[in-house]
């Protein structure tokens, strides 16, 4: 990846700014700082190497040079009724997940979204999403959607750090992937879904791609005992619906961990 070819590849998208780094700590950190400093809607941060990337629940997401696709997109809030204008990390995560699914399917892959923020191929994690916000007092200033994709060989996290099996696109496809083209397709899908974020369409698409749908799973929230149930679908705010003893239980987005039951 280089900035000149990226600019060319992304020229058809309505991006409002692009910061490319050969190496960066975390694209989310850079995007949060840039948003606080006035970045406009649809500004993009991308790094070829990420040295201290962050995942959900304080986990690390580093990426060696020229292997993973790591980027963060800044979204300024669109006018919405007050009750919808707050930051819902779940919906912004779903936006990233639905876009990833759309970009991977035409490549002959069958992505599944493991609620809340992982994308799986053949039961192994290939991508993760971290949605964060910048606030001015109580008002949402900007949302940042950070996406990391294990694109090429060498991008999987080290085995000793894995909490869930991992894979990369090159291994699944049996050929290298062009990260710039993948980025273009993810962004294009994400921008399309953003216009349909409210009103149920995004939830429907997310639900259709949900991993373990109809299957028994366990969900951990904090240090509590896991909740065992069958994945029933998603609520309109992106919460997970589990069927537990014939009753639907809503699992809120947060410090959760989901695993298939053994």
Residues forming contacts to ligand BTN in the complex (CB under 6 A) are: 26-28, 50, 53-56, 59, 61, 70-72, 117-118, 128-130, 146-148
By C-beta, is 186 or 232 nearer to ligand BTN?
186
In angstroms, what is the minimal distance from the CB of 116 to ligand BTN? 9
In angstroms, what is the minimal distance from the CB of 202 to ligand BTN? 19
By C-beta, is 60 or 204 nearer to ligand BTN?
60
By C-beta, is 72 or 209 nearer to ligand BTN?
72
In angstroms, what is the minimal distance from the CB of 150 to ligand BTN? 10
Q: Which residues contact 39 (CB under 8 A, 6 or more apart)?
A: 16, 17, 31, 74, 142
In angstroms, what is the minimal distance from the CB of 50 to ligand BTN? 6
By C-beta, is 147 or 234 nearer to ligand BTN?
147
By C-beta, is 54 or 232 nearer to ligand BTN?
54
In angstroms, what is the minimal distance from the CB of 78 to ligand BTN? 22
Contact 15, 40 (CB under 8 A): no
In angstroms, what is the minimal distance from the CB of 85 to ligand BTN? 24
By C-beta, is 117 or 168 nearer to ligand BTN?
117
* 67-11-186 Cα angle (round to 5): 45
Q: How many CB atoms lie within 10 A of CB 220?
A: 14
- Closest by CA to 163, choosing from 253, 48, 250, 58, is 58
In angstroms, what is the minimal distance from the CB of 103 to ligand BTN? 15
By C-beta, is 166 or 232 nearer to ligand BTN?
166
| CB-based closest residue to ligand BTN | 128
């Amino acid at each position: 990846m280089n900035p000149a070819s990226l600019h060319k590849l992304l020229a058809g998208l309505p991006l409002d700014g692009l910061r490319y780094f050969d190496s960066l700590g975390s694209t989310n950190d850079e995007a949060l700082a840039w948003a606080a400093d006035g970045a406009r809607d649809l500004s993009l941060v991308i790094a070829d190497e990420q040295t201290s990337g962050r995942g959900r629940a304080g986990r690390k997401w580093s990426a060696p040079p020229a292997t993973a696709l790591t980027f963060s997109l800044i979204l300024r809030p669109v006018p919405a009724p007050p009750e919808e204008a707050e930051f819902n990390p779940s919906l912004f995560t779903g936006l990233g997940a639905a876009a990833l699914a759309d970009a991977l399917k035409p490549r002959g892959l069958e992505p599944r979204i493991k609620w809340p923020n992982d994308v799986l191929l053949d039961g192994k994690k290939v991508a993760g999403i971290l949605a964060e916000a910048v606030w001015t007092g109580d008002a949402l200033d900007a949302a940042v959607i950070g996406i990391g994709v294990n694109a090429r060989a060498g991008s999987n996290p080290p085995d000793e750090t894995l909490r869930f099996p991992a894979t990369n696109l090159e291994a699944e496809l049996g050929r290298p992937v062009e990260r710039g083209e993948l980025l273009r397709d993810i962004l294009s899908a994400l921008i399309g879904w953003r216009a349909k974020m409210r009103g149920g369409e995004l939830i429907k698409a997310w639900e259709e791609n949900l991993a373990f749908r109809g299957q028994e799973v366990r969900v951990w929230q904090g240090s509590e005992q896991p909740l065992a149930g069958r994945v029933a679908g998603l609520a309109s705010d992106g919460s997970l619906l589990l069927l537990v003893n014939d009753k639907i239980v809503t699992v809120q987005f947060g410090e959760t961990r989901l695993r298939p039951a053994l």
